[in-house]
Amino acid sequence: MKNWIEGLARPELKRVAPYISDRDVAEEKGLRFADLNENAADLFGSGLNRYPDPQGSALVEKIASYCNVGRRNVLLFNGSDEAIDILIRVFCRQGKDSVLVLEPTYSMYRICAEANGVEAVGVKLGGDFQPDMKAILATVKRKKPKLIFACSPNNPTGNLLDFARLGKIAKSVKAILVVDEAYAEFAGRSFSSQARSYPNAVVLRTFSKAWALAGARLGYCITSPEIIRLMQKVKLPYNINSLSQQSALGAFGRMDAMRKCVQETVRERKKLSEGLRALGMKVYPSDANFVLFALPDGIDAKAVQEKLAGKYRILVRDRSGLVPNALRVTVCTQKENDYFLKSLLGAAADAVLFDIDGTLVDVSRSYLEAIRLTAQEISGKKVATRQVAIVKRMPGMNNDWDATVEVLRRQGVRSSREDVVPVFQGLYLGRNGNGLIRSEKPLVQLRLLRKIRKRVGVVTGRPRVEARIAMRRLGMPKSTPLVAMEDTRLGKPDPAPLLLAKKMLGAKLPVYVGDSVDDCEAAARAGCAFVAIGRGNAQPGEFARFASVNDAIRRLFI
């Protein structure tokens, strides 16, 4: 096996010997350093006047223990990108050899290959972004690549690659399989233990992600001693600086902090994914510290990215060149993730649908009072405002006539809509509109409604005539699309009213703004993000909650 691996390397390397430094053994012998023309004076008291440990021996020892491999299986690099470049320079001849890249994936494999005059042959990942074994083996047979690059968890898709398939690739080909595991800690699994069974497998790891040392530019590989010996022929000496080595050694002393941070990231990854789904995004499963999601057809990913950066000062990656209409977002802190989701809603939503009662209009002295007085008149018993409020908070009580029937039931009175409607409407409308309807007050500021730069519609359980009265008093244009009680056979919480509104507006990613559990359920069933109006924290199913509709408009829609 060793012979064929060495045979894969560029022929020129046979004449190249790795750079050997006497420093590799100098400290063990207690020698004084006068061999490398350094400045013997430590002018700044940092110890940086001396070249760093060329092998990073202390750090290699820690890494080997961490990864459960031998010291001879670990080699340090100036970031994993250096390892990618060195592997290509070790095994590939300019203009003659090729590498195979499982795509979509990290761009540096292709960039490093092409920069070295080496052809990069892409093979698309199959279903669920897993290796397509038939396509890979057929391409290997045809192109005879020297290297095969696979990223697991994959960037930008986020998923772990099937280890069994990776092992089959390593076993079946006369090429070097390179598995980039930059995000392995977030997955909780590594191919490195299996890679030891394949002398032609190389696993790349980094301190940039889970270890929070991206600024140190420190990576390493786990592979066979034969491949490490070949890489050392190309790798520059002393290029892992002392500060980076010290930082990584210090990090191993705080491994519990790293693991706790990883656990928190995994929890936030789940919550972020759930939030994206609530917005109507297609979320790809992630084993990394980022999430890839695709926007609905008709909502342009690039435009959303630009709006996030311009208005909300959030930079995410546009990955639509690799995965259709997709963006990639890093999992950050809970506060940052919440801010991102709200900002994404504002940037991506193409329509805002408003409920009327309790959202745009205060009905506490009109509709709610009409329920109380109707129940009181029919039952002959005193009905408290609190009793009405309790019923209105129940699922299925979006219609005020039904709510009145339920209040009466709780009073021990059996009744129906037919009993309730005449009394209720008489109280609410009165004669010539002089009933309780006159007590309604706007909750929304017209100037804010006019600033919304999205399509606006109204979806309400009110009869159309009463809805139009409210909209006219709010100053909303007559042309504002309206779905009222008469327009669908079933009302909220059935999704039919919202689905009709989506169709009327031609909306792909609408938001429904309301105040009740029925509003919330209708939105979920219609595929709309739901923004609740009311005090307190957001409840299950609510994308966000604001104390007033004006707060929601300011924060999300203008």
So what's the pLDDT on residue 49?
A: 80
Q: How far, in Å, are 322, 470, 541 from residue 307 at the CA level?
A: 21, 33, 26
In a domain, 258, yes or no: no
What's the CATH number where 324 sits? Answer: 3.90.1150.10
| 287, 190 contact by CB (below 8 A) | no
Q: Are 327 and 372 in a shared domain?
A: no
Structure tokens that stand for 205 in this block: 């790891």
Ordered DSSP codes for 430-493 = -STT-SGGGG-EE-S-HHHHHH--SEEEEE-SS-HHHHHHHHHHHT--TTS-EE-GGGSSS-TT
**In this predicted model, what pLDDT tens digit does every residue of 326-372 receive, in sequence order?**
999 999 999 999 999 999 999 999 999 999 999 999 999 999 999 99
Chosen domain end from 253, 287, 304: 253
So what's the pLDDT on residue 30?
A: 60
Q: Are 300 and 214 in a shared domain?
A: no
Q: Are 279 and 331 in a shared domain?
A: yes
Q: For residues 403 and 417, give the distance between their C-alpha atoms in angstroms, rounded to a whole number.
A: 10
In a domain, 259, yes or no: no
End-to-end C-alpha distance for the chain, whole angstroms: 65
Instruction: Give the domain extent around 17.
Output: 2-35+49-253
In a domain, 549, yes or no: yes
Chosen domain end from 422, 439, 456: 439
Q: Are 141 and 11 in a shared domain?
A: yes
Please work out, in degrees rounded to the nearest 5, the angle formed at the alpha carbon of residue 491 by the alpha carbons of 486 and 497: 80
Structural domain count, the chain? 4
Q: Are 482 and 532 in a shared domain?
A: yes
Q: Are 100 and 198 in a shared domain?
A: yes
Q: Are 211 and 106 in a shared domain?
A: yes
So what's the pLDDT on residue 1?
A: 46
What's the CATH number where 510 sits? Answer: 3.40.50.1000
Q: Are 493 and 524 in a shared domain?
A: yes
In a domain, 41, yes or no: no
In a domain, 44, yes or no: no
Chosen domain end from 219, 253, 287: 253
DSSP code at position 323: S
Q: For residues 322 and 27, give the distance between their C-alpha atoms in angstroms, rounded to a whole number.
A: 50
Phi-psi region of 226 (alpha: psi -120 to 50; beta: other; left: phi over 0): alpha
Q: Are 121 and 213 in a shared domain?
A: yes
- Grouped pLDDT means (10 residues each) for the chain, 558 residues: 82 85 61 73 83 90 95 95 97 97 97 97 96 97 97 98 97 97 97 90 97 96 95 92 95 96 98 93 97 94 96 95 96 96 94 97 94 95 94 92 95 94 94 89 96 95 94 95 96 96 95 96 94 92 93 92
Neighbours of 291 (CB within 10 A): 26
What's the CATH number where 25 sits? Answer: 3.40.640.10
Neighbours of 334 (CB within 10 A): 12
Q: For residues 34 and 25, give the distance between their C-alpha atoms in angstroms, rounded to a whole number.
A: 14
What's the half-sphere exposure (Cβ side, CA atoms, 13 Å) at 257?
A: 7
Structure tokens that stand for 464 in this block: 């159309």
In a domain, 262, yes or no: no
Q: Are 403 and 505 in a shared domain?
A: no
Q: For residues 102 and 121, give the distance between their C-alpha atoms in angstroms, rounded to a whole number.
A: 9
**In this predicted model, what pLDDT tens digit does every residue of 42-90 receive, in sequence order?**
888 888 888 888 889 999 999 999 999 999 999 999 999 999 999 999 9
Q: For residues 206 and 224, give the distance between their C-alpha atoms in angstroms, rounded to a whole number.
A: 18
Q: Are 409 and 549 in a shared domain?
A: no
In a domain, 264, yes or no: no
In a domain, 225, yes or no: yes
